[in-house]
Chains A and B, each alone.
Chain A
Amino acid sequence: MTCLSENEQGAELLTGYLSKALDAARMAELGRHIQECADCRGLASVWQRLDEFAVPEVSLGFDARLYARIAREEARIPSSSWRRWLWRPVAPLAAAAAVVALVLGFLHVPGGPDSAKQASNVEIEQVAQAVDDLDLLTSLADTRER
């Protein structure tokens, strides 16, 4: 078996292996390879650790606040060419500021006078995913009770 890093479908195989979604023969084959190959073992362990990383829930209206912040930052950037040139070395600093803004976004607790406005910015995709899951967790119970 070729190593996962050299296989075009390596990422898919590894995800399937970690979620035990592969068929029994593939699971066994890949399991044996991972035991024998240190590189693939390392790769699998990194993926496993990434998978175990608990992502904190994004606070209400996070995206809206982030985009507003980015818009404000962009508005502050001077427009003349020499000033723009001056900004170039500051790019890493701006990146760091964006990271800080992200962290602040996570830490910000919703509430206060503009909470009603923020409620309108509920992340619809987050809602749609939760609705999918809730529906999936109830649908068989419905079938059972029919």
Chain B
Amino acid sequence: MRFLITIAALLALALSPAAAQDNILRQKAIRQQKAKQQKQQQLKMVPLPAPAVERFLQMSPEDRERALSQLAPERRQQVEQQLNRLQQLSPDQAQRLQDLYPAFLNLRPVRRQAVREELKELRQMRPALRKDRLTSDAVSFSPDEMSILRQVTGIPE
């Protein structure tokens, strides 16, 4: 009987307003800790090399929403997914992008388009087949363009 009374007392204590308040405070502390970690992670992130994208990411959520609403729903979804992927890049990947993107932008528009198309083709291929494709690409692409294709695919010369 005494045992049952003890359990009932413990339960009453656990369910008391003080315990509930304690629980809320603990959860709040966990949330704050998570937010702090996220902020620290963002600070550690290498910025993206595209100023327009960086400006977009620094906009308030309301402004960002307003800007995204100008896109067609499918396009918006695609952009949001891509942004999400970009924000999750490892520091190494982000650093690699810092070198690659300016080199890509330096290409003439027609050549940039050709590199885009080639990357899309390479993307569809199995990694094992990409090397052969790159070997044949050397005829159609300049050394600078080949350097970009090789860096993106991770296949050295």
Contact of B67 among A124, A133, A134, A145 (CB under 8 A): A124
Min Cβ gap A114→B in Å is 14
A20-B114, A133-B101 known; A140-B122 Cβ under 8 A:
yes
A residues near B66, Cβ cutoff 8 Å? 120
B residues near A55, Cβ cutoff 8 Å? 109
**B31 is an interface residue with CB less than 8 A from chain A:** no
The answer to whether B86 and A134 have CB atoms under 8 Å apart is yes
- Tell me if B's interface is mostly helix, strand, loop or mixed: helix
**B29 is an interface residue with CB less than 8 A from chain A:** no
The count of chain B contact residues (Cβ–Cβ below 8 Å) is: 49
Q: Within B97-128, which residues are at the interface with A (CB < 8 Å)?
A: 97, 100-101, 104, 108-111, 113-114, 116-117, 119-120, 122-123, 127
Residue of B nearest to A143 (CB): B127
- Tell me if A's interface is mostly helix, strand, loop or mixed: helix
**A144 is an interface residue with CB less than 8 A from chain B:** yes
A51 vs B107: C-alpha distance in the bound complex, in angstroms?
Answer: 10
The answer to whether B52 and A138 have CB atoms under 8 Å apart is no
Q: Within A102-146, which residues are at the interface with B (CB < 8 Å)?
A: 119-120, 122-124, 126-128, 130-145
A residues near B110, Cβ cutoff 8 Å? 15, 18-19, 51
Q: Within B106-157, which residues are at the interface with A (CB < 8 Å)?
A: 108-111, 113-114, 116-117, 119-120, 122-123, 127, 130, 140-141, 148, 152-154
A132-B82, A136-B120, A139-B123 known; A124-B104 Cβ under 8 A:
no
**A60 is an interface residue with CB less than 8 A from chain B:** yes
The answer to whether A137 and B152 have CB atoms under 8 Å apart is yes
A residues near B154, Cβ cutoff 8 Å? 140-141, 144
Which of A19, A127, A142 lies at the interface centre, i.e. has the most chain B CB atoms within 10 A of its CB? A127
**A52 is an interface residue with CB less than 8 A from chain B:** yes
A-B contact pairs, 28 of them (CB 8 A): A15-B110, A18-B110, A19-B111, A19-B114, A20-B141, A51-B110, A52-B108, A120-B60, A120-B66, A122-B52, A124-B70, A124-B71, A127-B79, A128-B71, A131-B79, A132-B82, A133-B101, A134-B101, A136-B116, A136-B120, A137-B101, A138-B86, A138-B97, A138-B152, A140-B122, A140-B130, A140-B153, A142-B85
Give chain B's interface residues, CB within 8 Å of chain A: 48-50, 52-53, 55-56, 58-60, 63, 66-68, 70-71, 75, 79, 82-83, 85-86, 89, 93, 96-97, 100-101, 104, 108-111, 113-114, 116-117, 119-120, 122-123, 127, 130, 140-141, 148, 152-154
Closest 7 A-B residue pairs measured CB to CB?
A: A120-B63, A130-B50, A144-B154, A135-B82, A19-B114, A124-B67, A19-B110
Give chain A's interface residues, CB within 8 Å of chain B: 15, 18-21, 51-52, 55, 60, 119-120, 122-124, 126-128, 130-145
